[in-house]
Each structure stands twice: as structure tokens, then as C-alpha cells.
């Protein structure tokens, strides 16, 4: 379900500093246009309104803002997976290893066992979907908790990378607000 407002913003402002790199830090993941993200949250709520969502799960840091605005419409908590070892989380955690193409390295994400349980129906929200590794890591945590995965809401999917197909082929309801079919020096083409 395309969000036209987001596509227009990407078309207007996004930069492509290198192959497969989409720079949207002017409105999404460094500076945050909170009015735009509010609209995105409303759209995710429409898309998953029938799912009885009890938790929104994302990864720090750039997923937190979208997850929070989405959760506001569901009136449910956000849980954000932390990266690496944090002192105050404790040993009572679910973990998963995630390879990040942005950073070129693997990191461990972790979620306290107190905050995702078998009673939860969880919606994953993230800013980007490319190879799908972050989503798989979050799904692993949901599986470890015995919770139900209701679906995955993504702001920007790189449709030319394999994550979206892989996740949808496995039966997951993946909804991306903008899907980029191709991007290069000639511009950005969206899939509809």
C-alpha cells in the first residue's frame, strides 16, 4: 500500500551517494519530519488495524521514531531491540545476530524477555527493507518468545534487493509504504 506523500518526499529530497545507497537522513533517519512520520504511522495502523496488535517491535535507532508514531494509533507499547551489550538490560534477554549491509558487520540485537511474551501479537516496524536481515532477526526474537508475528511494516523497501520477496514467500504479510524498483543517476523509479 503505497503512501504517496512518502514517495513524493523521496523523489524530492533523497540522495543517491553510491550504488544501492539511498540517503534519506533529511527526513527519516537523522533529521525526522514528525508530521510525515505521523502520516506513516496512521497508514500502518490502517494496514494492520484488524490484527489486534499488542506490541510494536523495532531496532534502535532509526526504527524508533516510526514505531512510536505507529504505536500511538494502536495505543500499544513499542519495544526496541538494542544493539550490542547494554549494562542495564540484564541477562534475561532474547538475542539474534543481524548482518548490517550499511555498516558491513554483524551485530547482536537483544530484547528483554519481560517485554515480548507468548501473549503478544507483534507488528515489526522498520525504516528500510533490503536483504531482510533485520526483519529476520526481529522475527527470531518473536519466535523465541512464542509470540505471534502479525506482519512487517516498512517505510522504504529496496525492491531490487531480495528481502521483500524472501519474507513474503515465507508467508509474512509485508507492507511497504514505498517500494523502490530502481535508482541511479537518472532518478528513482517506484514499484506500484
Site for a second copy in 34-53 (CB under 8 A): 34-35, 37-38
* Per-residue exposure over 78-95, b if at least 16 CB sit within 10 Å of its own CB, e if not: bbbbbbeeeeeeeeebbe
Nearer to a second copy, 77 or 140 (CB): 77
At closest approach, how far in Å is the CB of 87 from a second copy?
Answer: 6
Looking at residue 24, the DSSP 8-state letter turns out to be -
| Candidate residues 2, 77, 108, 131; the one interacting with a second copy per rule CB under 8 A | 77
Pick one of 30, 46, 165, 168: the residue that binds a second copy (CB under 8 A). 30
Indicate the angle between helix axes 64-74 and 34-48, nearest 10 degrees.
50
Q: Name beta bridge partners: 128.
A: 156
Span 111-130, contacts to a second copy by CB under 8 A: 111-112, 114-115
61 touches a second copy (CB under 8 A): yes
Q: Answer whether 129's CB lies under 8 Å from 158's CB.
A: yes
CA 34, 125, 138, 165 dihedral sign is negative
Residues contributing to the site for a second copy (CB under 8 A): 17, 21, 23, 25-27, 30-35, 37-38, 60-61, 64-65, 68-69, 71-72, 75-80, 82, 86-90, 102-104, 111-112, 114-115
Amino acid at each position: 500500500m503505497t503512501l504517496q506523500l512518502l514517495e513524493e518526499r523521496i523523489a524530492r529530497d533523497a540522495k543517491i551517494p553510491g550504488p544501492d545507497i539511498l540517503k534519506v537522513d533529511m527526513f527519516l533517519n537523522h533529521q525526522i519530519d514528525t508530521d510525515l512520520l505521523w502520516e506513516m504511522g496512521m497508514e500502518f495502523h490502517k494496514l494492520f488495524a484488524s490484527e489486534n496488535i499488542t506490541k510494536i517491535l523495532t531496532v534502535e535507532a532509526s526504527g524508533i521514531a516510526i514505531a512510536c508514531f505507529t504505536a500511538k494509533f494502536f495505543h500499544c507499547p513499542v519495544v526496541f531491540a538494542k544493539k550490542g551489550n547494554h549494562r542495564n538490560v540484564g541477562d534475561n534477554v532474547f538475542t539474534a545476530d543481524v548482518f548490517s549491509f550499511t555498516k558491513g558487520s554483524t551485530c547482536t540485537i537483544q530484547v528483554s524477555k519481560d517485554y515480548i511474551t507468548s501473549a503478544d501479537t507483534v507488528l515489526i516496524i522498520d525504516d528500510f527493507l533490503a536483504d531482510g536481515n533485520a526483519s529476520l532477526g526481529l522475527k527470531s526474537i518473536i519466535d523465541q518468545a512464542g509470540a505471534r508475528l502479525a506482519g512487517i511494516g516498512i517505510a522504504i523497501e529496496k525492491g531490487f534487493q531480495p528481502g521483500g520477496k524472501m519474507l513474503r514467500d515465507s508467508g509474512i504479510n509485508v507492507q511497504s509504504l514505498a517500494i523502490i524498483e530502481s535508482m541511479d543517476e537518472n532518478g528513482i523509479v517506484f514499484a506500484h
